[in-house]
């Protein structure tokens, strides 16, 4: 077991999907995994292991924000030897070509968090990047499926409510959408020499004010989850 995951070492697969929301972890396990077992309930950060089309995999809730995902990603890699981590999250659209329900494959992650500064020191601006193999596989599958998807830079910000952020400047520099975990996931995957990708579904648009209905959110969650599962089984 680790500090925040109460499970024996072999209870977690070498591939883990990472939703922020514990109930999304339960939904993925209940809907898509064969014979899922619940291996963690500490802080209600549910974790499940089962199989998908014969491939053993786990789903671990990460909570919201960089501090929270940093705990789970670190323990999964350091204590459980997890090799492949795929975040399945929601994101707010920023760029005009991004529409609600689209899928975003986060090629890189910009941040206002101090994690980069605290890791490398002043004057070094490390660029947290997705694993190219995972990214290329997911993009190919999304393309073949005719999904509306985008590949590019996302903002992983420290605050959900952030009136001070100059998001327009980021939009001008090509940032597609905003969320709250991906920079830490990519930074930690680099630290532990593992592979990571964030697959995100656009739940709302911060510029147009467009929102999704509960039904639309569910459908787009399913598109995103299926893409993540098919990426895993295609590796
Ligand atoms: O849907 P999840 O995976 O939680 O991700 C997004 O939703 C939360 C904010 O509502 C943040 O965690 C953000 O990154
Ligand atoms: O962090 C997030 C996630 C979804 N939508 C947002 O606006 N922000």
Instruction: Identify the CA nearest to 227 among candidates 88, 97, 133, 93.
Output: 88
Q: Which residues contact 230 (CB under 8 A, 6 or more apart)?
A: 141
**How confident is the model at residue 216, as a pLDDT?**
78
Using most ligand atoms within 8 A of CB, pick from 199, 202, 203, 212 the residue to mutate for ligand 2.
203
- Ligand nearest 212 Cα, by number? 2
Q: Is the pLDDT of residue 209 over 90?
A: yes
**How confident is the model at residue 215, as a pLDDT?**
79
Please give the number of the atom of ligand 1 that sits closest to the Cα of 21.
Answer: 4
Query: Side-chain half-sphere of 153: how many Cα atoms within 13 Å?
Result: 13
Q: How far apart are CA 119 and CA 216, in angstroms?
A: 39
168 CB neighbour count, 10 Å cutoff: 10
**How confident is the model at residue 220, as a pLDDT?**
79
Q: Mean pLDDT in the chain?
A: 97
Using most ligand atoms within 8 A of CB, pick from 16, 17, 20 the residue to mutate for ligand 1.
20
CATH 3.40.50.1580 fits 9-233, yes or no: yes
Q: Nearest residue CA, atom 4 of ligand 1?
A: 20
What is the rounded average pLDDT of the residues 82-101? Answer: 97
> What confidence tier does 63 reach under pLDDT thresholds 50, 70, 90?
very high
* pLDDT tens-place string over residues 6-22: 999 999 999 999 999 99
The answer to whether ipTM exceeds 0.90 is yes
| Domain boundaries, given as residue ranges, for the chain | 9-233
Helices and strands in the chain: count of H runs, count of E runs:
7, 9
* pLDDT tens-place string over residues 25-61: 999 999 999 999 999 999 999 999 999 999 999 999 9
Q: Is 54 helix (H, G, I), strand (E, B) or coil?
A: coil
Backbone phi, then psi, for 78, in 5-degree steps? -75, -45
Q: Nearest residue CA, atom 12 of ligand 1?
A: 64
* pLDDT tens-place string over residues 153-180: 999 999 999 999 999 999 999 999 999 9
Q: How far apart are CA 133 and CA 131, in angstroms?
A: 6
Q: How far is CA 201 from CA 80, 91, 102, 127, 223, in A?
A: 28, 6, 6, 22, 8
Q: Is the pLDDT of residue 114 over 90?
A: yes
Query: Which residues have C-beta atoms less than 6 Å from ligand 2?
Result: 90-92, 160, 178-180, 203-204, 206
Query: What percent of the chain stands above pLDDT 90?
Result: 95
Q: Is the pLDDT of residue 76 over 90?
A: yes
- Annotated binding residues for phosphate, as ranges? 20, 24, 43, 87-90
> What confidence tier does 214 reach under pLDDT thresholds 50, 70, 90?
confident
* pLDDT tens-place string over residues 143-153: 999 999 999 99
The model carries a pTM of 0.97
């Amino acid at each position: 077991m680790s500090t925040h995951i109460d499970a024996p070492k072999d209870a977690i697969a070498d591939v883990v999907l990472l939703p922020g929301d514990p109930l999304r972890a339960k939904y993925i396990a209940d809907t898509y995994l064969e014979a899922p077992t619940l291996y963690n309930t500490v802080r209600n950060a549910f974790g499940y292991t089962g199989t998908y089309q014969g491939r053993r995999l786990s789903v671990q809730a990460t909570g919201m924000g960089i501090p929270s995902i940093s705990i789970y990603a670190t323990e999964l890699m350091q204590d459980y030897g997890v090799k492949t981590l795929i975040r399945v999250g929601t994101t707010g659209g920023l760029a005009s070509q991004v529409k609600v329900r689209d899928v975003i494959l986060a090629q890189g992650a910009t941040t206002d968090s101090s994690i980069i500064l605290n890791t490398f020191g002043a004057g070094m601006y490390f660029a947290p990047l997705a694993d190219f193999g995972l990214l290329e596989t997911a993009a190919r599958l999304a393309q073949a499926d005719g999904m509306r998807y985008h590949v590019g830079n996302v903002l992983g910000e420290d605050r959900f409510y952030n009136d001070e952020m100059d998001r327009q400047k980021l939009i001008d520099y090509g940032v597609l959408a905003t969320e709250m975990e991906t920079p830490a996931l990519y930074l930690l995957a680099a630290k532990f020499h593992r592979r990571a990708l964030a697959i995100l579904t656009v739940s709302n648009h911060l510029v147009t004010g467009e929102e999704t209905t509960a039904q639309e959110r569910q459908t787009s969650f399913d598109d995103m989850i299926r893409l993540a599962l098919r990426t895993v089984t295609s590796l």
